[in-house]
Amino acid sequence: MINITLPDGSRKRFDGPVDGFQIAASISEGFAGNCVAMEVDGKMADMRHTVENDASVRFITKKDPEGLEVLRHTAAHVMAQAVCNVYPEAILTIGPVIEDGFYYDFDMPPVSEEDFPKIEAEMKRIIQEKLPVTRREVPKAEALDFYKNDPYKQEIIRELAEGSISFYSQGAFTDLCRGPHVPDTGYIKAFKLMKVSGAYWRGDPARPQLQRIYGTAFFDKKSLKAYLNFLEEAKKRDHRKIGVALDLFSFSDQAPGMAFFHPSGMEMWNALIDYWREEHRAAGYMETKTPLILNRSLWEQSGHWQNYRENMYTVTIDETESAIKPMNCPGGMLLFRRKRHSYKDLPIRAAEIGLVHRHELSGVLSGLFRVRAFHQDDAHIFMTPSMIEEEILGVLHLVKRMYSTFGLGFHLELSTRPEKSIGSDLQWEQATSGLKGALESYGADYRVNEGDGAFYGPKIDIHIRDAIGRTWQCGTIQLDMSLPERFDLSYVGEDNEKHRPVMIHRVVYGSIERFFGILVEHYAGRFPLWLAPVQAVILPINDALVPYAKEVAASFAAAGVRTRVDDRTESLNRKVRESQLLQVPLIVTVGGKEKDAGTLAVRTLDGAVRHGVDRDGFIRAVWENIAGRQKDLVGLGF
């Protein structure tokens, strides 16, 4: 007799060994048809897996996120089989599931997207055959013999522990794999190959270059269509294209991975920084600034020289080896250590918008999302252990206020003590309970990532969600028990003895360059009034009205509105159209009638037009909208 416990606590009894299909069918045949894999005592398994003893079982269905991962895992095998059928000389390496799809790396001659139709045609044939996907386990020696002509699989197998090695087969195709997989290839109802690129074996430029083919797969065609539409929308929002179109920023081969911000881009940049400073002053932060270059001894003390050296730019000054800072933290430690502190001084909230440089490989540079020089809105909060929960809660409230201003939702993830860590059990217990307490007090749901914390302390990662549902990890709150120790930081407690402060690293924007790029895509270049590089453009209908247009512009500027006059000898329609292409929120037209009446004609980007608008009242309303950092044109009569 075997007892199977289901997630709801109910039990199913079977006379003997039973596989996943049989267990699922005992619930209902319809339910069994939707199951693609299962979890047996916490371990993922195929539906054909036989359960021989009492166990807890959870089924993975087509509706579960894990179900899509299992499907895509099988789709990667189907693609590998198709490539090997079409290109018999191809040698298999690895093919993992990734966010939104999968890829497989092959040692083979270069392929291009023009080759995709024949690969996809072969994949369709394999899928239509509904080939069962079956697992078998063999001794390590047999696995090595099976792959005697594949050096990549041989390398992987040799690194595995002694014991049985699992293989998965579908028809004549077999691949080394841990699984699980969907029951047969027919479960794949919709797929598409997306792109191809070069990739070094195990990311090492000294190893062979491979062909990496990316794809995606779904349980139905509707989901694939929705995903492709999403990609089209994301493509339209590409910050690199919009940045050029709006003249915000650019890059040069003379400074790879380092952005040039243009005057319009700097207007938006400064609006972001002004807002950051306003919120941080209100939250009790002091702004600081630390040097760009610090000598080797400092980086050895912080541990960066030993553990991060390959990502740092170095320079020799007065025969002393130094480095351009990749992080602001060590400089912040020196600032705290410069004088004696009492427990009455704490918490100290020291913020810095610091320029840092990190050497990223040229192949991973991507617009503002991956650069070599960027600014971080760091803050280091020094406190007593009893202050942890309150300070974390303060950061969470600050984050919520700031992200909501941009219309960005977010979710939270707590990462706990990893296997390798520093600090005592008591320190980790205090730190983790402080984070959990703050999260509970904050009241939002959060996900726990067991063992994913930094070696120096647990952390909260903040993932923002943009206008089209993409998530980006920007903010983070990290408790650090390493740097205060390394730099021998202390404060004098109520007992008149020295104590080690607890320290928080935290960012809100993160990399400001990256956050800038995210906002460009979030708004698709159509920024709210307070953030727009040019907030109003004044268009005189003829040359005689240019002086009056400049007078109107001066009134806007006096109210703090970023304004320009377009007095070019172009048609009014053309100037309106060009202002719309530059996404100027307010297009103000002045003619003789407006001059005589002291009014304005105002057009917005959605095509709405108001005539006879009172000039002074409108400027006042615009100022109030900007000062309130409104998300839309509330208060302006549109």
Tell me how far apart the alpha carbons of residues 483 and 302 are, in angstroms, rounded to a whole number.
7
Annotation says 522 is catalytic: no
Annotation says 240 is catalytic: no
Using the predicted structure, report yes or no on whether residue 423 has a pLDDT greater than 80: no
Reported pTM? 0.86
Check 46, 329, 417, 562 and give the catalytic one.
Answer: 329
Q: Which residues are CB-contacts of 241 (< 8 A; sequence separation ≥ 6)?
A: none
Average pLDDT score over residue span 146-164? 92
Q: Tokens for 430?
A: 């205090």
- Segment 3-24, tens digit of pLDDT: 999 999 999 999 999 999 999 9
The hierarchical CATH code for the domain 2-61 is 3.10.20.30
Which of 202-211, 410-419, 447-456 bottoms out in mean pLDDT, i.e. has the lowest? Answer: 447-456
Q: Tokens for 564?
A: 């320009």
Using the predicted structure, report yes or no on whether residue 422 has a pLDDT greater than 80: no
Tell me how far apart the alpha carbons of residues 549 and 565 are, in angstroms, rounded to a whole number.
7
The answer to whether 102 touches 213, Cβ cutoff 8 Å, is no
The answer to whether 212 touches 90, Cβ cutoff 8 Å, is no
Check 81, 211, 376, 427 and give the catalytic one.
Answer: 376
Check 358, 514, 562, 603 and give the catalytic one.
Answer: 358
Instruction: Check residue 455 and give its pLDDT.
Output: 78
DSSP track, 24-69: HHHH-HHHHHHEEEEEETTEEE-TTPEE-S-EEEEEEETTSHHHHH
Residue reference for tokens 């939707």: 34
Annotation says 411 is catalytic: no
Annotation says 13 is catalytic: no
Q: 374: which strand partners?
A: 356
Instruction: Check residue 97 and give its pLDDT.
Output: 96
Helix and strand tally (H, E) in the chain? 20, 35
What's the Rg (C-alpha) of the chain?
30
The hierarchical CATH code for the domain 66-232 is 3.30.980.10
Sorting pLDDT into bands at 50, 70 and 90, what band is 270?
very high
Annotation says 378 is catalytic: yes
In this structure, CATH architecture of domain 536-627: 3-Layer(aba) Sandwich (3.40)
Please tell me the number of Cα atoms within 13 Å of 503 on its side-chain side: 28
Annotation says 130 is catalytic: no
Was domain 249-290+326-523 assigned CATH 3.30.930.10? yes
Check 105, 175, 378, 567 and give the catalytic one.
Answer: 378
Strand pairing class (498-499; 502-507): unpaired
Average pLDDT score over residue span 233-240? 96
Average pLDDT score over residue span 203-227? 95
| Residue 30 CB burial class (10 angstroms; 0-12, 13-18, ≥19) | exposed
Terminal Cα-to-Cα distance of the chain (whole angstroms): 72
The answer to whether 516 touches 269, Cβ cutoff 8 Å, is yes
Tell me how far apart the alpha carbons of residues 298 and 301 are, in angstroms, rounded to a whole number.
5
Average pLDDT score over residue span 496-513? 95
Annotation says 459 is catalytic: yes
Alpha helices in 358-503 (DSSP H): 388-405, 425-442, 483-486
Tell me how far apart the alpha carbons of residues 544 and 546 are, in angstroms, rounded to a whole number.
6
Instruction: Check residue 426 and give its pLDDT.
Output: 84
For the chain, which residues make up each domain, given as ranges?
2-61, 66-232, 249-290+326-523, 291-324, 536-627
Average pLDDT score over residue span 373-381? 97
